[in-house]
Structure 1
């Protein structure tokens, strides 16, 4: 059974120990104003915490014995599901500590309604081995909560998962008809930097009890790391496009060389441009490209790769309108994997709220031999350094979607391929295929041209053609490598001076 225990009001010894639980009381129901009041208190707690030395959370040693297969088989017992009664749409299921997730998190429920003594009360939930079915494995003497997932009648009357919070600051939203793929994180610190990467953790969560007819769910979280403390508010709206509105308030314990905002994580093992593998599956990836809309409105597409060595790419911008890791290839025959179902993995799209100023969208591509390792990271980095004691505020909407076409009005890149050129060992041919209404509606007699820019190498030739029986256009770009430098290529299609497509931004590497 689910166990509860009410904590004391406010924070206990906030300045000295910062271990008190945030508990508030409101008369009547928990309104939007009450939620903001609670968040304000959580922000203050994060600010105070950042002024104290970082304290690492203690793991539960017993749960280290729960290996991968055992952990996968653990099930939450039905009577331990939160909000299983009451007629509401949202339910919450909990993950136990174990396997890689040995450090417990604290989870509280804020009651939305009730008597003047109970409405708006934050109540701590207690984990116990009796809450879980461990199958044939011996239950540990002690367990904690490692995280949780939210279910909702997304694809019919049955409750389906719509988001999970599990491990460090990871969370994974999905929409109608989708399967888990790319992930989001609360914060990235020193990713792909000379010093070791820091992985901030969500330490505590507050779940706001929804009313029976509510179609949104609010979750608050406290983030901690050696470099920062943060207060987060998540507003989850499930649907064909599940959205998560994020309000993040950060306070720096010390300066960091790289602070990644709205980080996204994914996997790319192989795609249309390789690398070629001894595998019956033509493509294996959770995402196949980084999409961006700049502050000036330019749409950019960067295909992902599985590089031979660590690659970091930067796309400088001012007040970006959006960026995300997309899964554009939606045909099963391009994956041939009926278990992984890569064709229904979500595209994650970040839309900043307010001005984020000058900075860059940074893409990190890491070599991987296996589909079981995430090797792609994308996030926003401000131009300005981050110093100790600094307070930062970022708000954005994160969408999990499958209808990427709806994001673009111009033709978009649907395939990128590379080949060698006979007779020149330093030359490579890049073939970029575009599709979209701007091409489909184009009169046959209109000539499609290209605008191609190359840096770091030599442009040899460009040519466009139209595949038989298709309105698509292919752009052939021949380039020549110079030394050990990679060639950066930007290209888009035009007709009579009118722009027809998004900008392709790719690389040819030695």
Structure 2
């Protein structure tokens, strides 16, 4: 199954900025004695040289539209490693459509790297509209399969396709949000850079191994990098990541462990003229700060570009989360939005000072990935700097397990009756010990805001649902954005995560 392709304007820019695989031949690694240290050496050498773009492929595959490219499928009986006893198989994506920049892919076995070559006979062209298969096919990416849901069927667990994008899924999930290798200068007032993986090395797993290692070489005008991914499929599919980066130029905003998602409409901003109540791959940004605070920031489809920063030191986790898991809230049996994974990043080691940045981009279509989140180090990246980050990326559906506290399950907004200048937020919490608390317990709202005046707060127990609601009435200060934080407490002790939001009048 091809991961959902969203042909959006900035994706076209993404693919126009990345380099082709031609340069990989200029820095070809040794055929033997190959390891991740070799990839780091290649990245360092690459960063010491001027960045060069190479032309995209030409021919019929480049001319394919979205539907016809998606119809181009690898033949299952040609999957790499299918004849062995291993639990991992690999299938390849040919270069074409928007994915017109070739990559090189090699297999590493016993320290020897062997390039992968493919031919037209490995693909089914019957529904592509092409009269004859092309004489030459180059690679754009690959997907890894594993017996994830059934012992007799190999399911996709990860796909690398387009720039430095990749998608991972766990058991009973479908493709949704994406991860990236690196983000450079996102939402800084000039065009964003989209680094791309130009070469991959697939380390052949031993028979019965339940982990697979992938190495990748990344390149862009401002940086080069070496990435090591260790895939661990399961209920949560985990991708343990090591990223070593070398700055070719100064970088204004470096995005580490970037995540990308779609939020078109939800409870706080219902869709117009659509039978579906909610349309999104993720409905919130969740954070676990270095000092142990759990924070929930609901996503929105804003009227204008919005960037929110959450300053921290040595963060313990952040992610784009899909909390709403009820089909009733989506009513979309084709897209299966309720089965889209949450992506959760857990830093390994100390990351120092910086911020988790959230970028929300106005979107008029659900085909646009308009949400980006990443870690930005506090200190600017200078030419010649070497940076290294390690983290675990999990594709999961058991979001409640991330925190022992009560969590936000819905956010709704509206006007305050008989006070037309005021606004009301209604935040509903569930989980933790909330369901065990009787309505007469002295549960209190702890609310603070800037950019406006807090006029009233109160809480309401909903015993039939096992939840509590917090009502927040406030009056904005003119056109200023209202920055708000709130949580439920019991005798001064936190019962819930912190709800954080920015409300624009």
TM-score by structure 1 length? 0.92
Equivalent residue number for residue 275 of structure 2: 280
Residue aligned with 1:420, SS = strand
TM-superposed deviation, 1:64: 1.6
| Match 1:97 to one of 95, 98, 103 | 95
Give the alignment's Cα RMSD to 1 decimal: 1.4
CA distance in 2, matches of 1:76, 1:258: 38
| Match 2:50 to one of 24, 46, 53 | 53
Equivalent residue number for residue 130 of structure 1: 121
| Match 1:150 to one of 132, 137, 144 | 144
The equivalences for 1:296-335 within 5 A come to: 296-335=291-330
Pick which of 478-487 and 334-343 moved more.
478-487
Equivalent residue number for residue 361 of structure 1: 356
TM-superposed deviation, 1:373: 0.6
| Match 1:455 to one of 442, 450, 453 | 450
Equivalent residue number for residue 232 of structure 2: 237
Equivalent residue number for residue 13 of structure 1: none
CA distance in 2, matches of 1:237, 1:350: 15
- Answer yes or no: is the 8 Å Cα contact 1:151–1:160 preserved in 2: yes
CA distance in 2, matches of 1:185, 1:137: 32
TM-superposed deviation, 1:256: 1.2
Equivalent residue number for residue 9 of structure 2: none
- Answer yes or no: is the 8 Å Cα contact 1:174–1:401 preserved in 2: yes
1:25 maps to 2:32: yes
The equivalences for 1:39-118 within 5 A come to: 39-62=36-59, 63-111=61-109
Residue aligned with 1:47, SS = helix
TM-superposed deviation, 1:24: 4.7
1:301-353 CA distance string (max 9 Å, x none) = 00000001110001010100000000000000000000000001000000001
1:450-488 CA distance string (max 9 Å, x none) = 110011111110010012512210000001111211101
Equivalent residue number for residue 435 of structure 1: 430
Gaps of 5+ in 2: 1-22
Residue aligned with 1:466, SS = strand
CA distance in 1, matches of 2:394, 2:464: 34
Closer, same or farther in 2 for the Cα pair 1:481/1:20, shift >3 Å? Answer: same
CA distance in 2, matches of 1:371, 1:148: 25
CA distance in 2, matches of 1:57, 1:165: 20
Residue aligned with 1:248, SS = strand
- Answer yes or no: is the 8 Å Cα contact 1:458–1:481 preserved in 2: yes
CA distance in 2, matches of 1:188, 1:49: 18
Between the two proteins, the alignment pairs up a number of residues equal to 478
CA distance in 2, matches of 1:426, 1:23: 69
TM-superposed deviation, 1:426: 2.4
Equivalent residue number for residue 207 of structure 1: 202
- Answer yes or no: is the 8 Å Cα contact 2:244–2:389 preserved in 1: yes
1:192-232 CA distance string (max 9 Å, x none) = 11110000000000001111110000000000000000000
Gaps of 5+ in 1: 1-15, 27-36, 112-118
- Answer yes or no: is the 8 Å Cα contact 2:435–2:463 preserved in 1: no
CA distance in 2, matches of 1:451, 1:369: 35
1:342 maps to 2:337: yes
TM-score by structure 2 length? 0.93
CA distance in 1, matches of 2:367, 2:439: 46
Residue aligned with 2:36, SS = helix
Equivalent residue number for residue 377 of structure 2: 382
TM-superposed deviation, 1:134: 1.1
- Answer yes or no: is the 8 Å Cα contact 1:363–1:376 preserved in 2: yes
Equivalent residue number for residue 271 of structure 1: 266
